[in-house]
Structure 1
Amino acid sequence: MESVRWNAQACGYPQDVWKVVGGEAAGGVPVQPLDPTVKVDRKSLPRLPVGTLVEGLGLAGDSLRFRRLLGRGPDGGIVCIRRFGGAVLLEPTEERPGIEGVPGSVLCKPVAWGAAGAEELLRDGEVDIVLSSDCVNKPLYGDAWEDLADCMVALSGPRTVVLISVLRRLQDGIDSFLEYLTRRMVVQEAYRKALCGTEVIVYRARRRTR
């Protein structure tokens, strides 16, 4: 997941997004200037209204340095994420602003292998794509591929696509994994290539209709 986040961030897509959820009675959350030497009248500080989305650029204690993504208010500054006493003013969110020229977005989440992990993830809704990269390696992970396969089956809805990339190694357990998965899903080879003497294969899987 870290590589996914790094690549998304490198493309300019915000990763650490916060939403203003408090301070409505006061007209929003007050914004301090980035320069601590600047003297300001606290009563005249600009504010971020409830519902505003910001990208976190650094968190020190309860002070969040931000840039505004969506909503009204200053483009940047420092805000307090909770009041003294614990009332929350800003909280992390999975909401993302639209990007010009991009019709949609992909929300990526890690999942604990097994049916239980899949069940927990499905509480947030159906899954469109399941990605598995080099997760079948018996010398390293033992027979955990059974839990991985169970997770893929449990996550798969009528429109879910499962993409599985594997590297062939000695006694890697991949054949057993594919045999186990094929009992409950339609599995097809989508890509194969030798890279630096190692065979890389990508499989596409989907739920059986019956």
Structure 2
Amino acid sequence: MQFRIELQWNSKPVTHEPITISLMPENNGVQMNINAPFFNDPAAPIGPAGQPFPGLWDYEVVEAFFLNSEKEQYLEVEIGPHGHHLVLLLSQRRNIWKESLPLSLHVSRTDSSWKGSTLLPWDYFPPSVDRFNAYAINGSGSKRTYEALYPIPENAVNEGQQPDFHRLEFFRPFNFSSLMDEKWKQPESCLWK
């Protein structure tokens, strides 16, 4: 299953090669792979690579959100090109109840692109995930760019509106069965009990 982020948060096209996010089934979770242009703007966060970094959304980052739309419970995974990550569990819009969960992350970079790969354990996913969205952020100051797999439709953007990645109503249907198989059932999570 592969997704291409071709639009900005307000439905305008991106001006670079689209970022791709691939999801693949694994016994213990979902393998998530990222392939993206490397902007190196802003500079790397100050902190050790391979560790959770609170506030990673203020840097260059790719984000994936997995939502249970009925209960508004969701997993937010952020991966940066410098090897930092941030995993958040949220219940209701923007209400973080668990953060900085560990991830085993591998990142490789060239001067113009980067790849990230991680296994998202089943425990991190809320029960009955049925919606998905993905985002990317890069640039500094007036060159800051916010991109979305499923953006706000152009006709719904109000003058002066700012990007908001927690607009859950714009997430689109997602079904793990299409990734796994029709008989597959999402394992129970000890974190979401």
Regarding TM over 0.5, the answer is no
TM-score between the two structures when normalised by the length of structure 2: 0.22
Query: If you compute each CA radius of gyration, which structure gives the higher value, 1 or 2?
Result: 1
Which has the higher relative contact order, 1 or 2, with Cα contacts under 8 A spaced 6 or more apart? 2
TM-score between the two structures when normalised by the length of structure 1: 0.21
Task: Specify which structure has the higher proportion of helix.
Answer: 1
Task: Specify which structure has the higher proportion of strand.
Answer: 2
